[in-house]
Structure 1
Amino acid sequence: MLYTQLKKWMALVFVLAASSVYATPITITDVLGREVTFDAPAQRVIVGFYPEDYMAIGTEDAFDHVVGMSKYIWQARTRNWQMYLEHRPSLDDIPGIGRVDTQTFSVEKTISLNPDVLMLADWQFKGLGNDIKRLEDAGIAIVVVDYNAQTLERHIKSTKLIGEITGQKERAAKIAREYENNLNSIEKRLKEANLPKPTVYSEYGAAGVDEIGYTFGKNMWGAISTMAGGDNISAPYIEWWGKLNPEQILASDPDVIVMTGYESSSSDTGMVMGQGVDEALAKQRLEGFKNRTGWSTLTAVKNNRMYGAYHGAVRSITDGAMIQFYAKAMYPEEFKDLDPEAAYLDFYKKYLPVMPEGTFMVQLK
C-alpha cells in the first residue's frame, strides 16, 4: 500500500511540474489596449461571452479548463446549446456567473471560482464599471475581446487573443487568416465590379410582424451589410442597435431586406432560423413580413428580395459566411459562385466537434 501511495504522489508531482513548465507568464495587449499578464495556456478560465468561438479557436480541450461561464447567450440558441450538451454533457455542470446586461453578474461567484483569466466582451467590461477593480484586486487577469464591433481588426485581434489564452496560437492565426482572406476577396470583387450600392435593411425579427424589431447601425448586421457592399439604411439613425421608425423604413425603400432570428421567437409570426428549423417554416415566417403595414410598396418586397439569416451566426468568427451571404443577396450575379451556407457548415466541420442541421440562410423566390 505504501508503494502504491508513493507512486500516486510521484505521478501528481510530475503532473504539477509538467503543467508549471508548460504554462509560462506572458503579457498580451487586449482589444482595449490594456496590457494583461497571466500564465498561458490558462488553467482556470471564465468565459464571459463568445463560448462557441472559444471552443473553435481553443479546441474542445480548452473547455477542460473553463471553470465558469455566462451561459445565457449560448442557451438563447436553444437547439444549438442542446446539440453541444448531447456531445459534451459536462457543459451543463460549468457554473454560471450571471449577466452583465441584466445586472445579475456575480462578482462574488466569479472570485470564488478562482480563475486565472476572465475573458469578457468589450461591452461587458464597460458595463461592469467599478466591479472591474474588485476582480483585478482579487488577482484575476481580465482579457477583453470583441466580435460585436464586427470590424476586421477586432475580429482578428480577438481570435489571436483567444489563441494566447488557450495555447492555440497557430490555430488562431490560421482561422484569422482565413477570415481576412474571405473579406479581402469580397472587397476585391466589389471594387472590380464597381456597381451602385444597393440599399439594405436588417432586422432581428423575433417580435413578429406586428412589432418592429431591433436593427443595427455600425455593428453586427449593420457592419456585415456594409462590408458586403451595401448601403445600410439604418446607419444614419442608429449608432449600434435600436428600432427604426416604421415611416423611415418606408421612406428609405430598401432594395434588400434581411430578417434574422433564433430557433424560437416571442411571437407566432416571429422569424425563426437555425438548428432544427425547417426551411419551409423559415420561408413561411419570412413571407409573413410582407403583410406589415405599408411594406407591400417596398422595392425589396415587390421584387422578392427578402432573406432570412441565423442571428446566432453574427458577432462571431463564424460570421465570414454571413458576409458572403449578404454579398450574394445584394449582388447575385457577381457572387453566384458562392455557397454561403456550405461555407458556414464547413467552419464547423473544420473547427468544431458538432455539425448543426437546420436552416441558417433562406431567400424568398
Structure 2
Amino acid sequence: MSSHLKAFAALAMSVSLLLPAALHAENSVVDHRGKTITFQKPPERVVTIVRSAPIIYRAVDEKADNIAGMNKDSLTRYFTKGIYAEMLPEMAKLNASAAQDGFVPNVEAILAQKPDAVIQWNHDEKLIEPLERVGLTVVAWRCCTEQDRLDYISITGAMTGRNDRAQAILKAQSDTLKALGDKVSKLDKSTLPTVLHIDKVAGQIQVIANGSQDLSLSGVTNPAADKTGEWWRTIDFEQLLVWNPDIIVIPAYATDLNPKDMFDNPLFASLKAVKEKRVYKQPVFARTPDAPEIFLTSEWLAAVAHGADYAPDFKKQILDVYQLIYGSKLTDAQLKSILESDSNAPADKYVELFG
C-alpha cells in the first residue's frame, strides 16, 4: 500500500492522529500557521474569504446559519447557478462583500458583519495582517495539497463543534480511496494510460501540469507534469502531438469547452484520444478541487481509464455521498447534470459506464 493510502487508512481510524488540525479543546484548533485559536463556543458569525470555504462550512455544520459573509467569487462561481445553487439556495442570500480583489480582504465590510472568525488563506501575510490588526480572529488555511484539504474539513469540525460530521465525511473519502487503491495497485505500472487535462484550446493550448489531484490514485499518468510546481503550462500543438495522450479530460470549470468541440475540430483529428473518442468532460463534483466530494473524481477517472469495475454502482455512490455531505436527495436530472452526461454523450463508452 502506498504511503498516501496508508495515510487515508490511518484517517479512518483516528482523524485527530492524522491531521495537524488536531483538537486541543472542545472549540480549539491549530490552523495552518500552527496558531492555536480557542473559541468559548462554536462561532456564530463566520466570514469566509477562501472561495470554497462556505461549501465546506455548510457541509460540516449542516446549515448556513453561522456563515455571516463570503467572497463575491464564491457567490458567482458556486451559488448563482448549478448544483450548489439548486441544493443550497440559502447560500445565495449571504453577504458577499468579504473580498475586494481575489483574496484581498475588504476589512470595512468584514467588520460590519461583526464576525467571530474569518477564514483566510495563509500564503501571503498581507492577506491576514490587515484583519488581525483590527482585532479580528483569523483561521488560516494553506493551499492546496490533498492533506490540506483533509485539514479544511477537520478544522471546520473543530470550529463548529461537529467533529462527528467531519469524521463521517473524511471516512467516506478514506474508505472510497482505499478500495480504489486496492484495485489500482494491481495494474501494470509500465502500461498506465496517459491523461492530459486541457482547459483552453484557443490560440495556444493550456494544460494542467502540476495540479493537486493525485492521478496515481486513478492509475494514470500526466505527460505534462514537471518539477516547476506550476499548476498550468501553455503549449503549442506540436508539443501536444509529441505527448499524444491516451485520454484527454476537460476540467469541470472549463464551461466553454466540451468533448464535441475537440471531436469536431480538424486540428485535433490526428490525436489518439480524439480518434478513439476518449475525450471527457470532468463531472461537476470536480468544479472546485476543495469540495468535500472531490474524491469521487479519482474513482470517476479510474473508471474512464480502466473500466466500470473501478467505480461500481457509481451513480448510487454519488447519491449517497451528496446525501451524507449536503443532506440533499438528488433528482435523476441533477445526477445526469453532475455526470455531464449530455456533454459526454459522444465520448467512448460514457453512456455504458455512467448512463
Cα distance in 2 for partners of 1:137, 1:217 equals 38
**Number of the residue aligned with 1:52:** 55
**Number of the residue aligned with 1:79:** 81
Q: Give matches, 1:28-67, under 5 Å.
A: 28-48=29-49, 49-50=51-52, 51-60=54-63, 63-67=64-68
Q: Deviation of residue 79 (structure 1)?
A: 1.8
1:176 aligns with 2:170: yes
**Number of the residue aligned with 1:189:** 183
Cα distance in 1 for partners of 2:94, 2:180 equals 41
Give yes or no for contact 1:38–1:117 (8 Å, CA) kept in 2: no
Q: Give matches, 1:155-304, under 5 Å.
A: 155-195=149-189, 196-205=191-200, 209-211=201-203, 214-220=206-212, 223-236=213-226, 239-246=229-236, 247-262=238-253, 265=255, 270-271=256-257, 285-292=258-265, 294-304=267-277
Q: Which runs of 5+ in 2 are unaligned?
A: 1-24, 349-355
**Number of the residue aligned with 2:293:** 318
**Number of the residue aligned with 2:4:** none
Out of 343, 353, 357, the position equivalent to 2:317 is 343
1:332 aligns with 2:307: yes
Q: Deviation of residue 131 (structure 1)?
A: 4.5
1:352 aligns with 2:326: yes
Cα distance in 1 for partners of 2:312, 2:69 equals 42
Cα distance in 2 for partners of 1:261, 1:25 equals 37
Give yes or no for contact 1:119–1:143 (8 Å, CA) kept in 2: yes
**Cα deviation code 1:288-327 (max 9, x no counterpart):** 2134464212211121111111352532211111110111
Give yes or no for contact 1:47–1:70 (8 Å, CA) kept in 2: yes
Q: Secondary structure at the match of 1:64?
A: coil
Cα distance in 2 for partners of 1:199, 1:224 equals 13
Amino acid at match of 1:241: W
- Rate the CA distance shift 1:114–1:333 in 2: closer, same or farther, 3 A: closer
Cα distance in 2 for partners of 1:322, 1:336 equals 10
Q: Deviation of residue 338 (structure 1)?
A: 4.9
Amino acid at match of 1:125: N
**Number of the residue aligned with 1:4:** none
Q: Which runs of 5+ in 1 are unaligned?
A: 1-23, 272-284
Q: Percent identity?
A: 19
- Rate the CA distance shift 1:119–1:214 in 2: closer, same or farther, 3 A: farther
Q: Secondary structure at the match of 1:204?
A: strand
Give yes or no for contact 2:303–2:309 (8 Å, CA) kept in 1: yes
Give yes or no for contact 2:43–2:66 (8 Å, CA) kept in 1: yes
Q: Deviation of residue 33 (structure 1)?
A: 2.9
Amino acid at match of 2:81: R
> Once superposed, what is the RMSD of the aligned Cα atoms?
2.8
Amino acid at match of 1:134: P
Q: Deviation of residue 166 (structure 1)?
A: 1.2
Cα distance in 1 for partners of 2:75, 2:241 equals 34
- Rate the CA distance shift 1:238–1:254 in 2: closer, same or farther, 3 A: farther
Cα distance in 1 for partners of 2:205, 2:183 equals 32
- Rate the CA distance shift 1:261–1:334 in 2: closer, same or farther, 3 A: closer
Q: Secondary structure at the match of 2:28?
A: strand
Q: Deviation of residue 182 (structure 1)?
A: 1.3
Max radius of gyration: which structure?
A: 1
Amino acid at match of 2:319: L
Give yes or no for contact 2:75–2:92 (8 Å, CA) kept in 1: no
1:307 aligns with 2:280: yes
Give yes or no for contact 2:169–2:324 (8 Å, CA) kept in 1: no
Cα distance in 2 for partners of 1:347, 1:136 equals 37
**Number of the residue aligned with 1:140:** 136
Q: Give matches, 1:95-114, under 5 Å.
A: 95-101=96-102, 103=104, 105-114=105-114
1:125 aligns with 2:122: yes
**Number of the residue aligned with 1:15:** none
Cα distance in 1 for partners of 2:252, 2:172 equals 26
Q: Secondary structure at the match of 1:118?
A: strand
Moved more, 171-180 or 189-198: 189-198
Q: Secondary structure at the match of 1:319?
A: coil
**Cα deviation code 1:118-154 (max 9, x no counterpart):** 112xxx3324x335223123332222235x6241x22
- Rate the CA distance shift 1:193–1:130 in 2: closer, same or farther, 3 A: closer
- Rate the CA distance shift 1:324–1:74 in 2: closer, same or farther, 3 A: farther
- Rate the CA distance shift 1:143–1:75 in 2: closer, same or farther, 3 A: same
Cα distance in 2 for partners of 1:126, 1:235 equals 23
